[in-house]
Each structure stands twice: as structure tokens, then as C-alpha cells.
Structure 1
Amino acid sequence: MNHQKILYISQEINPYLPSTPMSLFGRNLPQDIQSHGYEVRTFMPKYGSINERRNQLHEVIRLSGMNISIDDNDHPLIIKVATLQPTRMQVYFIDNDDYFEGPGTKVLETESSPEDNDERSMFFVRGVIETVRKLRWDPTVIHCTGWITALAPLYIRHLYQDDPGLSRSLVVYSLRPESFEGKLDARFAEKLKMAGFTDECLQSLGGGDFDWMTLNKLGIDHSDAIVVTTPDIPAGLVEYARQSGKPVLEYPGPDGEEATTAAYHDFYQSILSQKENDSKSSD
């Protein structure tokens, strides 16, 4: 049995959201990896369209309550949790009234209020990290999927570089084809600097074209490894990942879930072994 801990930070997870390639990926991979003996926890945004009663979500009071500051404004962090049956996999939800609407919403907030996507992503990522720290659950691998998670490698590698648990984690970033139209807020880089990041950290943001491609490049820059999840990722983005010199898991192919899970399992073990060898070499 494998007792390594894998944290999945996902943009969408089925059945909490309708079946889409992304939401099915967000459910199936963690469940299948868990069946290989890994200890797994998953996080996603608490979109307003998620029916809390039907999905049996409940607030975790001991984890909620802290404020996350973005652009000099404090936003209360609310943590909810559900158990995905029959695997009993725990799914945590990051909630806040400023970025996620109440019941009755049908369109995801990332689409209905795209002007807030920069801060929504910042809040979500920071909320996940702070919750994991409160849980005192140190993941071996942190696997991020979806553009809303693209800031996670940046936060983990720089704002939390001295955290004794997170500093040892390997961060994997998945390239997905789902995108957003237009650009993020023009003050995106400024808000990140207010959060504590330097110009050097944000170098790949360039001169202010904060679009989907740029956000993904930021995720690649600060992760330890990259996964190409589908065959329809823009060629320029895949090439950017390859040129980074980091381990890249190429698209495993349409060979069924079992073969795909095996590819991810082998990839995790490969990058963990490489890290262990690098540590021995530096001793």
C-alpha cells in the first residue's frame, strides 16, 4: 500500500457540477488514485449552483473564520465539506459571499461575473492553502487542475516557501483546454504584488496581457511538473511546458481510465524518485 498524500485542487468536480470533461477529470482521477492506496483530499470552489442539501455539504466551523486580504479588502473564508460516495473521498469547498453567489445560480460565477476572476482565483488558492495548513495535513504531491488553480504553484513556492509541510510538496500543474474569454483585471499584477509577490516572481505576466494563456504560463513557471491532460491543448502552451525543462507527462491517450490512472501513478512516482535522488546528490 502507498501512504503518500495527494492534494487535488480542482476547478470543477462532478457530481457537484454537471458532467463535463473537466468535472469528470476532477472526480475520476482522485478516486482512482485513492484506490491505489494514496491518501487523497480534494478542493474546489463552492459555486452558487451547487445544491448543498442534495450533496450534503456542511460548514466546518473550526476551519472557517479567517479573513483573506485582497487589494486591501478582507474577505471571510468559509469552508464546507462533503463525502463523495461510495469511495468516501472528502471534498472541501472554498466559499465566500463576495466571490460565490447564493442558491439558485445556474451559471458559474467565473462566467457570470468574469470581472472578479482575478480576485476569485487569488481567494480560492489562498483559501485552499490556509485550510490545508489548519488541517496539519502535509501533501506529498499537490495536483492543480483548471485555470482557476494556476496561482497555486506561485503561492506555494513563494508565499509559503518556509512552511515546513508545503515546502516539501511537489506541485503538478495540469494543462486543460477550458479557457475564459478576454483578460483578467488590469490591476491583476498590482494586486499580486500587494499580496507579497515580487516582480521576479511575476516575470511571465509580461506587460499586462493577463489572458488565459499568460495565466497558464504562470502556473507552468512555478510548478515542479506539468501534465498535458488532453490532445487539444494549444501547441504553443505545450511547447512552453516542454521548454521549461521540468518533467512533462504527455497526453496518456484515450486508453480508458485504468491506463490513464496508471500513467499518473507512474508519473507521481517518477518525480518523487527524482526529487529523492536530487536530495541525495546535494547531501
Structure 2
Amino acid sequence: MEEYHEELPQPRRSVAFIGSECYPFVKTGGLGDVMYALPKALAKQNCDVKVILPRYACIPEEYQNKMIYRGSFDMDLCADGKSYYVGIMEYVWDGVVYDFIDNQEFFTEGNPYTNLVDDIPKFCYFGKAALAALNYMNWTPDVIHCHDWQAGLVPIYLREMFNDTPLSRSKVVMTIHNLRFQGVYNIETFKYWTNLPDYVFNKDTLTVKWLDANMLKGGLTYANAITTVSNTYAGEIQTEFYGEGLDAHLRYHSGKLRGIVNGIDYDIWNSATDDKLASKYDITNVLDKKKENKRALQEELGLEQDDHKFVIGLISRLTDQKGLDLVNEIIPQVMDEHTQVVILGTGDPAYEDSFRYYENAYKGNLCSNIMYDESRAHRIYAGADALLVPSQFEPCGLTQLIAMHYGTVPIVRETGGLKDTVEPYDVNYNSGNGFTFDRYESGLLLDAINRAKTFYFTNRWCFDEMVQRNMAKDVSWENSAKQYRELYVELTK
């Protein structure tokens, strides 16, 4: 006899997110997307969420005007006893409470990050002020979730300076979005701006290279759990090649490290409701509508209008990290009478110039949009047949997830989140989500592109099945939020 189990309601958990940016208030990269989308998804899964951010002057007026004053106090900060004003401004939206830390002295710059000389004191202040604000509002979360180096001192402040407050019972999760940035500066500056005890400036906690302190390293030491944005990347960062100097430290703390892949926001990325597209579509009519979007894209970009072209998209920062050197090397071999290439992005002037040159050389079949245009990006996802993501390293990667959700086949290098989210096509089982290559070599990228192209022209039936398989795949935040939730519950049993 079978037993039936009703799913038990998830226990409620409260979480405070602490980080330096969050869409739509301020965003420079993927961190801003996660700080927006993950709390929103957690709020729908029986979590109580607060997001604590700096109140930068560059936050648009429309949000500044809706903030409500929650209170203020002075906080001791520096080694010489100097204290600073902490104001709390609150904005509630979509089930999430946003608390902005207000301080004219630190946050009047137009940009969230200026240079380390100014950024180090700014984030020494912010980390402590975020905890002090939680105390002031009398809100003790089960979990304090810190993001990247800007919040790296939070776990240390918590255990060293707040251990006689209610916050001492909170557990801490530290998430690494990009290991390349760590908040490293000389120890004397940190000692002055944090007034932390001398013993935390040791080689196992904050100190690197004898004279410097590293905010991210210290946070990783003191955190109860460490996550990064994909399983493969969690393994990669424990090796010298990807470890950015922290690989030994991460191997030492590997027992509390795990990877959870990011999702994409289905409210923003949804081909069935996307107003930016020439023709909206879903899994039932993707095969016809994709043709209409392709033709509209060719028209918009001045490419030859031809249904039979294989259109390859590339939406990326134009930097070495993103594998642009490989792309640059093979464009002459990729371009033939069956192929068109559409590039969108800005970055390294050498690549910008090179892609402009190629646009001229292959007029009508290659278009280089050296700019960042969000709505054009939507139309490239919808109109292209394949999307290239040949990164050197890629902690998670969102473009391949958006591509699959829009029925565009990804061609990726097997690294980080790309390896975790794109299963290579297997001809024996007719399974998989895209085409992949492993070593970082232009010949292998060319080979992957040629396999995709051959598949498209000689086995369209199976190619179309892959398109539909990709659209059916769940790459939403709901999936990722579940895993974070489980981690919170596990930490606070």
C-alpha cells in the first residue's frame, strides 16, 4: 500500500541581505540582479526578507521620494573614537523591505564604487552600520546573508562587536559572485577604520602578503556557510588557476562551501509577454515566431534578409574574461554564405575596433553594435538561432539561461555555471541543451560552432526539438531560492 505525504509547510525564516547594489536602485553588474531577484523569490517562499543597502546619491529620485525615515543614531567606528551618523530610510516593494543606510559623507558620490582609497572606509562603515541598524530596529534575522567583498567585514563585526546583542544568534552566509574583487588594502587603514582587535589581523583571517588585509577573506573565515553561484565554480575556485590567490583558503574552508546556480527573472525575461520583441511567442509556436523575429532583427540591423541563414548572437562585455580573443581569431572561418553574426556590447577598445573592422569586411552579414542597448538585447535573444558564451571563467552566467528561455541554442565553454546549466548535445540519445567545448582554444570553439551549424542545416527536426526542450527547462529564481531556503533552514535548525 502506498503512503501519501502531504508536503509540510516550510518553516518561516527571516533573512537580512547585506550588499552594495540592487536593481532598480543601483546596478553595475550581476550582483545587482541577484540582490533584487532572490529576495523577491524568497518572500514568496515563506521568508521574511530585508535588504540593506547604502543610500547612494545616484539612486533615482522616484525611489528617493518614496523612502520613509525610520530613525537615526550615532555609531562609534574608528580607532580614535570618531563616530558617524547612521540614518535609516525605508522603502517596501513587492513583499521585500529595503532599508537604506544614509550618510552624506560616504554616499554622495555619483557612483557606488569610486576607488579603493574611498571605497575601503565607505564599506568599513557600511558593514558595521548595517548591523547597528538591525539592532536599532530591533529586528533579529535568523540568517544574515552577505554578498561579495563590500559586505566582507559583516561576519567579523558580528562576532567581535555584536556578540552581546540579540544579533549574536544570527547565522551568516557569505556569497561570492565574482572572486576577482576582494577589497584588499593596507592593514593600518583597516585598523583605523574598523577598530577591530589586533588578533583578527592574522594570516588565517584578514591578512594577506604580510601588510595587507583582505575583506572577502576575513568574511569567508567567519561565515557559517559560503556559497557561490554555481557548483562547478565552487570547485574551480579551489584551484590555483581560478582561485585569485584565495584557493588555499577556500580549500581549507571547503566543508562549508557549496554552489547554487542563479536564475533569471521571468517577469523581465519572458518571450510570451516581452513588448520589446517584433513577435511574442511561447513553446507552442516558437518555430514559426522565431522566423519572424529573425527577419525583424535582420531588417533592424541592416543584414541580408534571408530565412535560411544561421544567425549567431553574442551579447557580452568585450573583455578577455568573456573569451573574445577566441571569437576574434575565428570570425573569418565562421563567416560563409550560410552564416550571420550579431555582436552587442562594449569594452576593450581593441575588440571594439576589431569588430567594427569585421562589420565592414562582411557587410550585410555581420553587425557589431558597440553599445549597451537592453531592448536590442531582447530582440537578439529572440531572433538568433544560437548564442556564443566562450568565457575563460564564468561564475554563473545569465546570458545562456536567457538564451535557452528564448529558444536560442547556447554554444558555451565548459566552465563554471556554463558547465552546470548547458548539457552538451548527445547524438546517440538526442539529448542535451547546446554545444560545448572544454579547453580554452579557438579551434575548439570553431568546432563547436560548426557542429551547431551542421546540426541546424542537416537535422533541423532534432534542432527544433532542442529549442523546445530549452524553453521547457526551469531556469527561474524559484528553483534557486528553494536551495537557499534549505540552506537557511539547515543552518538554523
Could you say whether these structures have the same fold, taking a TM-score greater than 0.5 normalized by the shorter chain as the test? yes
CA distance in 1, matches of 2:69, 2:75: 15
CA distance in 2, matches of 1:67, 1:136: 16
Q: How does 1:123-134 map to 2 (within 5 A)?
A: 123-134=125-136
Deviation at residue 272 of structure 1 after TM alignment: 2.4
Larger Rg: 2
Q: Check if 1:51 corresponds to 2:60.
A: yes
Change (3 A) 1:159 1:55: same
Change (3 A) 1:67 1:217: closer
- Match among 7, 17, 26 for residue 17 of structure 1: 26
Q: Check if 1:92 corresponds to 2:312.
A: no
Change (3 A) 1:28 1:202: farther
Deviation at residue 200 of structure 1 after TM alignment: 4.1
CA distance in 1, matches of 2:185, 2:41: 34
What is the letter of the counterpart of residue 486 of structure 2?
A: D
User: Hey, what does 1:261 align to over in structure 2?
Assistant: 481
Deviation at residue 246 of structure 1 after TM alignment: 4.2
Q: How does 1:149-164 map to 2 (within 5 A)?
A: 149-163=151-165
- Match among 204, 209, 212 for residue 209 of structure 1: 212
Q: Secondary structure at the match of 1:267?
A: helix
CA distance in 1, matches of 2:105, 2:253: 36
CA distance in 2, matches of 1:79, 1:159: 20
Q: Secondary structure at the match of 2:141?
A: coil
TM-score (norm 1): 0.81
What is the letter of the counterpart of residue 88 of structure 1?
A: G
Q: Which moved more, 1:198-207 or 1:4-13?
A: 198-207
- Match among 8, 33, 50 for residue 42 of structure 2: 33
Q: Secondary structure at the match of 2:211?
A: coil
CA distance in 2, matches of 1:126, 1:140: 18
Change (3 A) 1:65 1:160: closer
Q: How does 1:1-283 map to 2 (within 5 A)?
A: 1=9, 2-18=11-27, 20-61=29-70, 63-72=71-80, 73-84=82-93, 87-101=94-108, 105=110, 107-108=111-112, 110=113, 112-163=114-165, 165-177=166-178, 179-180=180-181, 183-185=184-186, 187-191=188-192, 195-200=195-200, 202-203=202-203, 204-206=205-207, 207-210=210-213, 214-230=214-230, 231=233, 234-235=242-243, 237=246, 240-244=249-253, 246-252=255-261, 253-254=420-421, 255-273=475-493
Q: Does structure 2 retain, via aligned residues, the 8 Å contact 1:202–1:218?
A: no
What is the letter of the counterpart of residue 117 of structure 1?
A: D
> Which structure 2 segments of 5+ residues have no match?
1-8, 262-419, 422-474
CA distance in 2, matches of 1:181, 1:37: 33
What is the letter of the counterpart of residue 85 of structure 2?
A: P
Change (3 A) 1:250 1:186: same
The RMSD of aligned alpha carbons is: 2.6
> Which structure 1 segments of 5+ residues have no match?
274-283
- Larger RCO (CA under 8 A, 6+ residues apart): 1
Q: Secondary structure at the match of 1:79?
A: strand
CA distance in 2, matches of 1:267, 1:197: 31
Deviation at residue 199 of structure 1 after TM alignment: 1.6
CA distance in 2, matches of 1:5, 1:147: 23
What is the letter of the counterpart of residue 222 of structure 2?
A: H
TM-score (norm 2): 0.49
Q: Does structure 2 retain, via aligned residues, the 8 Å contact 1:57–1:80?
A: no
CA distance in 2, matches of 1:183, 1:250: 24
